[in-house]
Amino acid sequence: MGALVFDNRSADATTPARTVALDSLEAGIEAAHPRRVIRESVSLDGDVLTIAGESYDLTDVDELVVLGGGNAAAHVAAALEPIVGDRLAGGVVVTDDPTETDRVTVHRGDHPVPSQRGVDGATAVREAAEAASESTLVLAVITGGASALLPAPTADISLDDLQATTNALLESGATIHEINAVRKHLSALKGGQLARIAAPATVVSLIFSDVVGNDLSVIGSGPTVPDESTYADALTVLSAYDVTVPDAVKTHLKRGANGDLAETPRAGDSIFERVSNHILADNFTALSAASDVAESHGFTPLILSSSVRGEAREAAKSHVAVAEEVLATGNPLSAPAVLLAGGECTVTVRGDGEGGPSQEFCVSAALELDDERITVAAVDSDGIDGATDVAGAIVDTGTITDRAAGARALRENDVYPLLAEAGAHLHSGATGTNVNDLRIVVVDA
């Protein structure tokens, strides 16, 4: 059984299938938590620091610092401190989930929309990177959420401009690759620019991926990796999704597309000669642990994919269809079974209600369910679905009895009140983990 993540288990775990779902999701979230991942991936033996099997000689390192940001950044820093010990000179991270640290300064920021305190924290990260020298080793902590938590808008872009653009992009239905192509070209840190500022220091990135496919240039908008996206790409995204942005943003992007501004650093740039990047945990890390727990409950698990994307409400129908196939034909496996999936579904916002991708997934699934043997749950691994105070939801055939109300809630993007009234929300608070969404379909025999 996983660590207790969700509040009010007695109200949520009302059936054996629900218990399996919650135990599996909790185990997945716990498996990707920095305290466990760092303990298993990082070690120090004398002057040799080993990260994910790669060794770094600290003999000529005069200063070792931790810099970065993301939902889980403070937890990564806290987990590193006892391993690196006195070799750690300090550092700065920005997060919306602070935890106690001894040597690393933790700044609070906001997610998913950047804030002034995030800008202040990003400024502190930038100043620390600028102070790095050739004998500095920077452990760059990059986790999901870093795009919002390390805003660092360029000089001609205001925070208000950045906030308006972020809100519009998040509601547009654009993919995270497309959203970050825009954000990278409005920032002084994203798209390899943190590595450029820190050069000639050695930079070793510890990355927790919340991006489908683990594209390093997209995770946290890739502060320490080459970027192949362009200003022209950013303008194409705005046009393709009919995103309205402030005039200053459009002017900035057009200047860049016209060659008046430097592009983000490309592969082959000398600044990356002393940079290495390590993905320490991702969505599959969580799914594998969830699968093990489901099996321990006597269910046959199947990981469908860690790369599910697209509209949440449409993805839900496909998941339920597979569960129905399990019951009808025993394909692709026989009940009792657990179907697991991850990735990042999106919501194209057309109404003005409250909700998030995991909640819309669950409402859409509930409207498809007509067999009491199927239970569905979906959560964002960081404990915050969309911009709400819940991680996600758990549903079965008895959750939404008024199907017209469910359809209306989806139409208006207002699923939160419906799930709240049904008592279907899963509450966890910030989990310290962020490896994208987790979904589970329990098919009981």
379: its two tokens: 């959560």
Q: Is residue 163 part of a domain?
A: no
Does the structure show a pLDDT above 70 at 101?
yes
**Could you tell me the CATH number of the domain that includes residue 42?**
3.40.50.10180
Its sign, for the CA torsion 245, 167, 208, 129, is positive
Average pLDDT over residues 48-59: 97
What is the distance between the alpha carbons of residues 26 and 20, in angstroms, rounded to a whole number?
10
| Cβ atoms of residues 324 and 397 within 8 Å | no
**3-state secondary structure (DSSP) of residue 151:** coil
Strands lying side by side in the sheet with 54-57: 42-45, 48-51, 54-57
Task: Judge if 326 and 268 occupy the same domain.
Answer: no
Q: Is residue 405 part of a domain?
A: yes
Q: Is residue 180 part of a domain?
A: no
What is the distance between the alpha carbons of residues 210 and 386, in angstroms, rounded to a whole number?
14
| Per-residue model confidence as pLDDT tens digits over 135-182 | 999 999 999 999 999 999 999 999 999 999 999 999 998 999 999 999
The per-residue pLDDT for 362 is 98
Q: Is residue 413 part of a domain?
A: yes
pLDDT tier at 8, thresholds 50, 70, 90: confident
| Per-residue model confidence as pLDDT tens digits over 337-367 | 999 999 999 999 999 999 999 999 999 999 9
Percentage of the chain with pLDDT > 70? 99
Task: Judge if 141 and 109 occupy the same domain.
Answer: yes
Task: Provide the domain limits for residue 119.
Answer: 34-152+187-229+264-281
The per-residue pLDDT for 1 is 40
The per-residue pLDDT for 255 is 98
Rounded mean pLDDT of the chain? 96
What lies within 8 Å, CB to CB, of 45 at 6+ separation is none
| Per-residue model confidence as pLDDT tens digits over 389-398 | 999 999 999 9
Q: Which helix (H) or strand (E) holds 284?
A: helix 283-296
Task: Judge if 206 and 348 occupy the same domain.
Answer: no
Does the structure show a pLDDT above 80 at 3?
no
Task: Judge if 358 and 219 occupy the same domain.
Answer: no
Task: Judge if 351 and 316 occupy the same domain.
Answer: yes
Number of domains present in the structure of the chain? 2
Only one residue has tokens 């906030």, namely 163
CA distances to 83, 121, 288 from 69, in Å = 20, 9, 26
| Bridge partners, 154 (sequence order) | none
Does the structure show a pLDDT above 60 at 235?
yes
Strands, E assignment, 109-201: 136-143
pLDDT tier at 10, thresholds 50, 70, 90: confident
Task: Judge if 273 and 361 occupy the same domain.
Answer: no
Look up the pTM and report it: 0.92
**3-state secondary structure (DSSP) of residue 131:** coil
| Cβ atoms of residues 173 and 348 within 8 Å | yes
Average pLDDT over residues 222-228: 98
Q: Is residue 1 part of a domain?
A: no
Task: Judge if 14 and 73 occupy the same domain.
Answer: no
| Per-residue model confidence as pLDDT tens digits over 253-270 | 999 999 999 999 999 999
Does the structure show a pLDDT above 50 at 2?
no
CA distances to 250, 258, 351 from 246, in Å = 7, 19, 22
Q: Is residue 95 part of a domain?
A: yes
Nearest to 413 by CA among 344, 366, 365, 359: 359
Only one residue has tokens 């969580």, namely 286
The per-residue pLDDT for 186 is 98
14: its two tokens: 């009302």
